[in-house]
Amino acid sequence: MKKKLPFTINFLKKLNRLCIFINLICVYFCIISGLFLVGIIVIEVIFRYLIGSALSWPEEIAGFLFVWFSMLGAAICLFKKSHINVTFLVIKFNSQWRFLIQTLVHVLIIFISYILLERGNFLLGIVSRQFSAAARINMVWEYSVIPIMGGIFILYSIVSILNSIFTGDDSIRGDLGL
């Protein structure tokens, strides 16, 4: 017979599944945008050097894709815990101090991500009537990654803190090897 888990663990498992799902979306979006990025740059090189007539739109589209690629790539790194950190100092502390330091790091990430989320939404209101020069794409499409990334970072950090508090570590999410 299946043992009933406490409410908090079931809730955490659902939050972790949500994080895994969001991470998969980020991974697939990065793969697709990376392929498009390479394709657009190849098209631009062909037109510029082989045909002798440069196109105006590939540079803008490639810039948009690169911004999304790098921002969502940062979210993937936070999910996998492969972001920049200073472990050589932290591993010298006992587990209680490590927990406090990791929690502090996640609280700082939440604070900075909230600023990205709030100011990013404000920025979207400013750029909502602006269009890119060559491709005529609304600039909201480029800048919307800022609040999206802020929200994803906040979610990942809160889930990591909750995992550490209720399970003792942050390995419940299951990395799926991605």
Instruction: Please give the helix or strand (H or E) that residue 167 lies within, else none.
Output: helix 145-167
49 part of a folded domain: yes
172 part of a folded domain: no
pLDDT given at position 80: 87
Average of pLDDT values for 83-112? 81
The parent domain of residue 44 ranges over 7-167
pLDDT given at position 34: 94
In the predicted structure, residue 172 carries a pLDDT above the cut 60:
no
96 part of a folded domain: yes
Work out the pLDDT band at 52, boundaries 50, 70, 90.
confident
pLDDT given at position 53: 86
In the predicted structure, residue 112 carries a pLDDT above the cut 90:
yes
Supply the pTM of this predicted model: 0.85
Residue 34 near residue 69, CB atoms below 8 Å: yes
For the record, the structure tokens of 145 come out as: 């990654």
131 part of a folded domain: yes
In the predicted structure, residue 1 carries a pLDDT above the cut 50:
no
In the predicted structure, residue 87 carries a pLDDT above the cut 80:
no
Domains contained in the chain, number: 1
In the predicted structure, residue 176 carries a pLDDT above the cut 90:
no
178 part of a folded domain: no
In the predicted structure, residue 86 carries a pLDDT above the cut 90:
no
Task: Please provide the average confidence, as pLDDT, over all residues in the chain.
Answer: 86
Per the listing, tokens 């406090």 go with: 100
Answer with the residue of higher pLDDT: 169 or 80.
80
For the stretch 130-170, pLDDT in tens is: 998 888 889 999 899 999 999 999 999 999 999 888 877 77
Residue 15 near residue 167, CB atoms below 8 Å: no
Residue 137 near residue 131, CB atoms below 8 Å: yes
Average of pLDDT values for 65-79? 93
Selection from 95, 79, 98, 77 nearest residue 87 by Cα:
98
1 part of a folded domain: no
Residue 49 DSSP code: I
Cα torsion through 94, 96, 102, 104, rounded to 10: -130
176 part of a folded domain: no
Selection from 57, 39, 19 nearest residue 135 by Cα:
57
CA distance 85 to 12: 25
89 part of a folded domain: yes
Measure CA 154 to chain center: 10
